[in-house]
Copies of this chain bind each other. A is one copy, B any other.
Amino acid sequence: MLPDRVLIVEVGPRDGLQNESTPVATEVKLQFVRRLVDAGLSQIEVTSFVNPKRVPQLADAPELIAKLPNAADVTFSALVPNEKGLDRAIESGVKRIAVFTAASETFTQKNIGMSIDESMTSFASIVKRATGAGLSVRGYVSTCFVCPYEGEIEKERVRDVTARLLDTGVDEVAISDTIGAAAPTDVRETVGFVLENIPAEKIALHFHDTYGTALANVVAGLELGVATFDASAGGLGGCPFAPGAAGNLATEDLVYLLDRMNIRTGLAGQSDVDLAKVVDAASIIANALNRPLPSAQWRRMHGSCAGDGA
């Protein structure tokens, strides 16, 4: 039994841009976000309050948030790594934040310089303060299937970290395939296991499309009853000059799949997400980076695929 309706969490402005070394002007990002809103996306992760020295691309987070369009039905969110980031987020006026840890101890250490236990202690305090300030909070768990350092990740670790994050007070956990290695069998095993204890309404799935399996994984998630999926317009999110890196599942490819499966993508009573307008939004970034994008829709519309010709 598939869900009738899916919520697409658009992460392109944050996850899609954070690894881009070419600076993208705030006004261009705003144009991107405005078009995403116009396309009917109702949850958009727009930026991150990580240390601007670590991610200069997103150093304009406060300015960006100040200039976001007025859109009553749209929730904008920002990533928050620590207390200092939360100070900046609260000051910016953003209404939703996201915290992030991982199911792999090594990845957590390398990514945020803490153990998983330490990250939980840190986030418990951040989530409490954020919700006290009227913000809602989502949590990410990275490397839920395969870790680039540790290899295969046990499903028990994913369940435990997910449960602990929910205990801190986040309203949703995005189980993430950070390197895009999972197949539908992995989704069934790991996410199916998590869902034995945790309601599907609390779970989002976040896939990268490194090996082309992201849509197949979405279908496995739908079949488990999950109805929230992260995606990035254009399939932004890889580092195009680093072999091995690949982008998020492309929003337009997800929209094609869901449309074809007769699953609604708009909020109740509103139109579905408009595929062509998502591609139109992504083209803002393609132009800014002077580079084509990896989504199937983009390839279909603009000719075949690339990289170098070797």
Contact = CB atoms under 8 A, between A and B. Distances in A.
A30 interface: no
Nearest to A303: B307
A138 to B, nearest CB: 26
A146 to B, nearest CB: 9
A260 B298 CA distance: 27
A199 interface: no
Given A257-B216, A260-B181, A309 B294 contact: no
Contact of A302 (B243, B299, B301): B243
Q: How large is the interface on A (under 10, 10 to 19, 20 to 34, 35 or more residues)?
A: 35 or more
A211 interface: yes
Interface stretch (A34-42, A109-117, A284-292): A284-292
Contacts of A310: 283, 286-287, 292, 302
Interface string A198-223: 00000000000111110110111000
Contact of A306 (B242, B257, B260, B305): B305
A126 B188 CA distance: 46
Given A211-B253, A253-B212, A260-B213, A299 B304 contact: no
Contact of A298 (B184, B257, B307): B307
Contacts of A299: 246, 294, 305-307
A112 B292 CA distance: 36
B309 A305 contact: no
Contacts of A182: 260
Interface in A5-38: none
B309 A307 contact: no
Interface string A245-278: 0110010010011001110000000000000000
A295 B216 contact: no
Given A257-B211, A260-B213, A261-B185, A307 B302 contact: yes
A246 B298 CA distance: 11
A219 B286 contact: no
Nearest to A262: B185
Nearest to A243: B301
A297 interface: yes
B300 A305 contact: no
Nearest to A217: B216
Nearest to A244: B300
A308 interface: yes
A247 B304 CA distance: 9
A186 interface: yes
A82 B241 CA distance: 48
Contacts of A261: 183-185
A44 interface: no
A290 B302 contact: no
Most buried by B among A186, A210, A211, A213: A211
B212 A256 contact: yes
A296 interface: yes
A213 to B, nearest CB: 6
A238 interface: yes
